[in-house]
Amino acid sequence: MASSSGNDDDLTIPRAAINKMIKETLPNVRVANDARELVVNCCTEFIHLVSSEANEICNKSEKKTISPEHVINALESLGFGSYITEVKDVLQECKSVALKRRKASSRLENLGIPEEELLRQQQELFAKARQQQAELAQQEWLQMQQAAEQAHMAATSASAGQQAGSSQDEDDDDDICL
């Protein structure tokens, strides 16, 4: 559904989003497929209309970026002035959401710990981790050694026992138990 061609003119709002809106706006109404397709294209057309108008207004104001004011004026001049109140409400909502996000991220930044202290703590943590790793590795090495020794002892005693004969088994068993 997403346009994979590089052609800008093929850009449209995804069909699914439009279908959902139509369903919510006209519940229980059967909408023909070609009608839906048409709505998708009307959307694109509307966006172009508003962007061009807003762009013109922007150019006249000698600013380089289309601002909310430009869009609002464009809507007014195109005859969609009735949308302005509702559209402005959404803007407020978006602003407050963005503001909350900024507050949340700055709360993390402002724990009050200066950077050098943070670095020091980090180094400490790394050193600790390295030490733990080393201890763990040493333990594993010791265990491996012990296991190898046991295996070796078992092997040597077993062959010695075989040479001496079965009566020696009990004594040999005592030697093997470490």
Partner 1 sequence: MKMSANTADKDNNVSTNKNISLPISRVRLIMKSSPDVSNINQEALFLTTKATELFVQYLAVSSFNNGSGKGSKSLSYSDLASTAEENDTFHFLTDILPKKILAGDYLKTLEQIEDEEADI
φ/ψ region of 5 (left if φ > 0, alpha if ψ in -120 to 50, else beta) reads: beta
Under rule CB under 8 A, residue 108 binds partner 1 = no
Under rule CB under 8 A, residue 57 binds partner 1 = no
For partner 1, the closer of residues 41 and 133 by Cβ is 41
DSSP character for 11? -
User: Hey, what's the torsion of the CAs at 129, 130, 134, 140, to 10 degrees?
Assistant: 50
Q: Are 68 and 92 in contact (CB under 8 A)?
A: no
Long-range CB contacts (within 8 A, 24+) of 123-132: none
Report the residue from 25, 110, 159, 166 that binds partner 1 according to the rule CB under 8 A.
25
φ/ψ region of 30 (left if φ > 0, alpha if ψ in -120 to 50, else beta) reads: beta
Segment interacting with partner 1, rule: CB under 8 A, options 16-24, 109-117, 145-153, 164-172: 16-24
Per-position b or e across 131-159, b if 16+ CB within 10 A of its CB? eeeeeeeeeeeeeeeeeeeeeeeeeeeee
Under rule CB under 8 A, residue 48 binds partner 1 = yes
For partner 1, the closer of residues 9 and 170 by Cβ is 9
For partner 1, the closer of residues 104 and 111 by Cβ is 104
Report the residue from 91, 142, 158, 160 that binds partner 1 according to the rule CB under 8 A.
91
Cα(69)–Cα(21) distance, rounded to whole angstroms? Answer: 26
Under rule CB under 8 A, residue 103 binds partner 1 = no
**Quick one: which of 89, 67, 66, 69 has its CA closest to 77?**
69
Report the residue from 67, 131, 143, 146 that binds partner 1 according to the rule CB under 8 A.
67
Number of residues that bind partner 1 (CB under 8 A): 63
Q: From the CB of 43, what's the least distance to partner 1, in Å?
A: 6
Q: Which residues bind partner 1 (CB under 8 A)?
A: 8-9, 11-14, 17-18, 20-22, 25-26, 28-32, 34-35, 38-39, 41-52, 54-55, 64-68, 70-72, 75, 78-80, 83, 86-91, 93-95, 97-98, 101-102, 105
